[in-house]
Amino acid sequence: MTTIPVLELKSVSKNFVGVSALKDVSLRVNEGEVLCLLGDNGAGKSTLIKVLSGVHQPTTGDLFVNGERHSFAGPHEALQVGIATVHQTGGTVPLMSVGRNFFLGEEPTKGRGIFRHFDRKLAEQVALEELRSLGITNVNDGSALVGGMSGGERQALSIARAMYFGAKVLILDEPTAALGVKEASKVLHLVARAQMRGVAVVFVTHNVHHALAVGDHFAVLIRGTMADEWSKGERTREQVLDLMAGGEAMGDLEDELREIRTSGSLVSRKVGEKYVK
C-alpha cells in the first residue's frame, strides 16, 4: 500500500475508570473506500466512533488524518479536518424544513449589516440538488418538513449535508439499524454513492448482510479488541456470521435448540391446551 490513508488509528487504547473499552486497535481507511466496522452490542463500537469523531481522546495510541498526527479537543475539531459523523437518530430536526435542516449552523446569508438575512431560497435549492445527487428524487419541496420524510431519506439528508460541507471521512453509526428492508437498501445506495465521490466511509453496523453488500474492507471488534480484519472476498458469509456470534458459542446454541425441539419431555402441552391436573 503506497497510498496515505485518509484516516488511520495506530494501536489505540481507551480506558475509562477501571474499565478498558478499547485495547490496541489499529485501522485505516482510504479515499473512496468503505470500511465496515462489525461488532455485537457492547463490543466497543460506540467508543471507537467517539474516538474517531473527536468526542473521546485515546488513552494511548495515535490518530492520523492524511498522514498527519492529530489530537482532537472535541467533535468540532474533527469536523474541521473533514471527519463527519452521522448518528443513528439521523441528526435532523423533524419539525424544520429540508432547507433549514441542511444548513443548520452554516446558514447562507444575503445582504449586509442589519439587512443580513437567511437566504431561504438558496438553502432549499441547494438542499434539493444535493439530495438528488444522492439519488433521492421524490423529495421536491425544500420547504417541506423533514418529519414527513422516511428514515432513509433523513439519513440521506444528513449524509448530503456532511459531504456538502467538505467531509472527507463519513462515519455512519448504525444507519440501517432502525430501518425496514426497503429503507435500509436506500441507505446502502447512499453509501455507494458517497464512496463513488471519493469519500472514505466508516460504516458501523452489526448487520453482516448490509456490511458485505457495500464494504471494501472489514474489521470485527470483540470485547474492545480487533478480532479479525480482511478485504472484500477473503471470507465467506458463514465465516463472518460465525465470527460475529463468537464462533463456538453459535454452534453450542444450535445444539441446544435442536435438543429442545427433539426431546418430548420438555414439552408437555401444545399452545392453547389448558393445563388440567
Partner 1 sequence: MATTLETPMFEKPTVKPSRWKRGISNLAYRPEFSVLIGFLAIYMFFLLTTQPVFHSLAGTSTWVDPAAELGIVAIPVGFLMIAGEFDLSVGSVLAFSSMFLAAWVGYFHYNIWLGLVLAFILSALVGLINGILVTRTRLPSFIVTLGTQLVLTGVTLGGSTLITGSSSIDMTATAPVRALFSSNWNQFNVSILWLAAIAILGHHILTNTRMGNWITAIGGDIETANRAGVLTSRVRIGLFVTTSLAAALVGVIQAVEYNGSAASNGQVYVFNAIIAVVIGGILLTGGFGTIIGAVLGAMTYQLVTQGIYFTGWDTDWSNALIGGLLLVAVVSNNWFRKAAVARGVKKGS
Q: Which residues of this chain interact with partner 1, rule CB under 8 A?
A: 75-76, 79, 85, 87, 89, 91-96, 98, 100, 103-107, 109, 116-118, 120, 135, 137-141, 143-150, 185, 188-189, 192, 209-210, 212-214
Residue nearer to partner 1 on the CB measure, 119 or 242:
119
Residue 130: CB minimum distance to partner 1, A = 15
Contact 172, 152 (CB under 8 A): no
Q: What cell was used for 227?
A: 478480532
Residue 98: CB minimum distance to partner 1, A = 8
β-sheet bridge partners, residue 117: 110
Residue nearer to partner 1 on the CB measure, 117 or 258:
117
Residue nearer to partner 1 on the CB measure, 21 or 134:
134
Residue nearer to partner 1 on the CB measure, 86 or 226:
86
Among candidate residues 231, 173, 228, the one with its CA nearest the CA of residue 26: 228
Q: What cell was used for 185?
A: 437498501
**Tell me, what amino acid is at 241?**
L
First to last CA, the chain: 73
Residue 8: CB minimum distance to partner 1, A = 24
Decide the pairing of beta strands 83-86 and 200-205.
Answer: unpaired
Residue 96: CB minimum distance to partner 1, A = 6
Decide the pairing of beta strands 225-231 and 7-16.
Answer: unpaired
Residue nearer to partner 1 on the CB measure, 212 or 226:
212
Q: What cell was used for 151?
A: 428514515
Among candidate residues 156, 183, 185, the one with its CA nearest the CA of residue 172: 156
Among candidate residues 73, 76, 25, the one with its CA nearest the CA of residue 47: 25
Residue nearer to partner 1 on the CB measure, 48 or 98:
98
Residue 257: CB minimum distance to partner 1, A = 26
Residue 99: CB minimum distance to partner 1, A = 10
Cα separation, 40 vs 107, in Å, equals 38
Taking the mean position of all CA atoms in its chain, how far away is CA 233? 21
